[in-house]
Amino acid sequence: MEIKPTKYQPGQKVWTLIGMKAEEKTIKGINISVDSDGVQKNYYYMLVPKEKECSSEAFASYSEKELFSSKEEMRMSVFGD
C-alpha cells in the first residue's frame, strides 16, 4: 500500500469556510488514514479560536475538499463562476 503525497503541507496557508465566513488559516499538522479498501483520507489541523472555554485556541480538522489554495479558488468552488 502506497501513501500518496498530500495536496497541502504543514505551514502552508489555505482558505476555508468557518461559520459561513471565508478565513485564511495555516496548516499545523496532517493526519493521514487509509481504510481497509485502500482509500486514503487526509485531514488537516489548524488552530482556531475556542468559544466560551478557558483556552483561547483549539485545533480543528478539515478534509481536503474543505480547503482551498486561494480565496479565488474557494469563490469559484462556491459560486461556480
What is the per-residue pLDDT for 71? 95
The sheet carrying 13-18 orders its strands as 13-18, 21-34, 40-49, 57-63
In Å, what is the CA distance from 36 to each residue of 57, 62, 65, 69, 78? Answer: 34, 21, 21, 30, 32
What is the per-residue pLDDT for 37? 92
Per-residue pLDDT of the chain (81 residues; tens, 9 = 90+): 788 999 999 999 999 998 889 999 999 999 999 999 999 999 999 987 666 555 556 788 999 999 999 999 999 998 886
